[in-house]
């Protein structure tokens, strides 16, 4: 009996160790997330003065899987979202007049429920083009150099031809794909997503929806 109890205790310890290993936090990445003067969290007035606004939509529609031509955006994997909240989040997509090297061709802003026209959104995600200035590197070589610097990626979006790094500096995700649409240049386009901006904006809208529901309930 003592031997049986010992074996059971050992099995429980090993199972606990295996569970703890499964729960280890994901490796934190160190990919660069600030390019030029672009930093997530900036207001639309500071970040996109020379950009042209696209028609407004909501986050649920903009991030739909079939919208492959939109900037890559995705909610944090650990979030359970309510559709009636996500569909309220306004998305302001802006585009530069021209898509060149060393610039951000598209910026994505999210607006909260209390924001006025003067402060209509915070920078949530943006793309940045990095070109080979030597004329000696192919796009594949540029992609390989990126992986060589930051390590093997976590995911791959085959439709977008994009590699994805999660848990960058604890709050970002970074996607990298071959450059396109910039004359005959070769290079990559880096997409930076700030999960903290999304979490904050979603939280604001969730509180607004709950408040509206409480007010309506009082009228019943």
- 187 belongs to a structural domain: yes
Question: How many domains does the structure of the chain reveal?
Answer: 1
Q: What does the mean pLDDT of the chain come to?
A: 85
- The secondary structure element, H or E, covering residue 53 is strand 52-53
CA 23 from centre of chain = 23
Q: Which two tokens stand for residue 179?
A: 């450059």
Q: Is residue 75 part of a domain?
A: yes
Asked if residue 47 lies in contact with residue 38, where contact means CB atoms within 8 angstroms, the answer is yes
CB 192 within 8 A of CB 106: no
In a domain, 9, yes or no: no
The token pair at 176 is 């990298």
pLDDT, tens digit, for every residue of 32-85? 999 988 889 888 776 666 788 777 899 999 999 889 999 999 888 888 889 999
The parent domain of residue 175 ranges over 32-218
pLDDT digits (tens, 9 = 90+) for 152-195: 999 999 999 999 999 999 999 999 999 987 888 899 999 999 99
d(Cα 5, Cα 9) in Å, to the nearest integer?
6
pLDDT of residue 205: 93
> Rounded to whole angstroms, how far apart are CA atoms 198 and 79?
10
**Residue 6 confidence (pLDDT) above 50:** no
Residue 23 phi/psi, 5° resolution? -90, 5
Q: Cα separation of 191 and 127, whole Å?
A: 4
Mean pLDDT of 129-134: 93
């Amino acid at each position: 009996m003592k031997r049986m109890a010992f074996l059971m205790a050992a099995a429980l310890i090993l199972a606990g160790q295996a569970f703890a290993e499964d729960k280890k936090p994901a490796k934190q990445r160190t990919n660069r997330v600030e390019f030029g003067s672009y930093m997530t969290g900036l207001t639309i007035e500071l970040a996109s003065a020379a950009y042209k606004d696209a028609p407004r939509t909501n986050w649920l529609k903009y991030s739909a899987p079939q919208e492959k031509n939109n900037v890559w955006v995705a909610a944090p994997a650990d979030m359970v979202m309510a559709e009636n909240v996500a569909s309220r989040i306004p998305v302001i997509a802006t585009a530069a007049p021209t898509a060149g090297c060393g610039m951000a061709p598209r910026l994505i802003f999210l607006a909260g429920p209390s924001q006025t026209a003067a402060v209509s959104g915070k920078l949530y995600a943006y793309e940045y083009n990095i070109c080979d200035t030597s004329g000696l590197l192919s796009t594949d070589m540029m992609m390989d150099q990126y992986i060589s610097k930051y390590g093997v990626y976590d995911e791959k979006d085959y439709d977008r031809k994009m590699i994805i790094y999660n848990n960058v500096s604890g709050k970002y995700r970074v996607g990298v794909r071959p450059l396109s649409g910039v004359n005959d240049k070769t290079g990559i386009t880096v997409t930076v997503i700030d999960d903290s901006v999304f979490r904050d904006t979603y939280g604001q809208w969730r509180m607004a929806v709950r408040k509206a529901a409480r007010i309506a309930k009082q009228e019943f």
